[in-house]
Amino acid sequence: MFKALIPNESYNSIHDIDLISLYKKGYRNILIDVDNTILPWNSNEISANLRKWIKQSEVIGFSVFLFSNSSPSRIGKLAQMLNISAIPKGGKPFSFAFRRALKYIRGNRNNTIMIGDQIFTDIWGGNLCGLYTILVNPISTREFWGTKVNRFLERLLVKRR
């Protein structure tokens, strides 16, 4: 069980990820969490840096999809603002949610990466589904109360960078 909680890679932020080497390894799709991965929790303010990161990913050859447990209407609007697609429903960490996401993006476990800030939703779920998982440090310390509980458990289990 513990192995499923360990990400394949971990970084301070999405900007530290070596996208080119991931592309060379055959990955083509990026499922990316929203809250505290690309935006502060519950924020809808998109920075120029974030736009640049998404543009870079697309130029390299990736398709980027927002994959969040937050409300589909909020995530849909953010995706529209970023000019990318969103997975219509969340459901992380459950396997059915990841399988549904892969089906939606027409991707598979060999060409899809999951990036997120939470071990118990993004990483655990991604690993169970066989995806390549990348953990980043949360952007802010403000978060959903349920997440705070998860953080406590994370600290008991895994040492973050």
Contact 78, 66 (CB under 8 A): yes
Taking the C-alpha atoms of residue 126 and residue 129, their distance in angstroms, rounded to an integer, is 5
CB 116, min distance to Mg ion, A: 6
Strand stretches in the chain, DSSP E: 9-11, 29-32, 63-66, 85-86, 112-116, 132-136
In this complex, which beta carbon is closest to Mg ion, that of residue 37 or of residue 127?
37
Residues in 79-138 that interact with Mg ion by CB under 5 A: 117-118
Residue of the chain from 36, 111, 112, 133 that contacts Mg ion (CB under 5 A): 36
CB 143, min distance to Mg ion, A: 8
Piece of 18-26, 28-36, 98-106, 125-133 that binds Mg ion (CB under 5 A): 28-36
Residue of the chain from 35, 92, 129, 135 that contacts Mg ion (CB under 5 A): 35
Asked if 33 interacts with Mg ion (CB under 5 A), we say yes
CB atoms within 10 A of CB 159: 6
The H-assigned helical ranges of 18-144 are 19-24, 48-60, 72-82, 95-105, 124-128
Piece of 22-30, 35-43, 77-85, 151-159 that binds Mg ion (CB under 5 A): 35-43
For residue 99, how far is the Cα from the chain centroid? 15
Binding site for Mg ion (CB under 5 A): 33, 35-37, 117-118
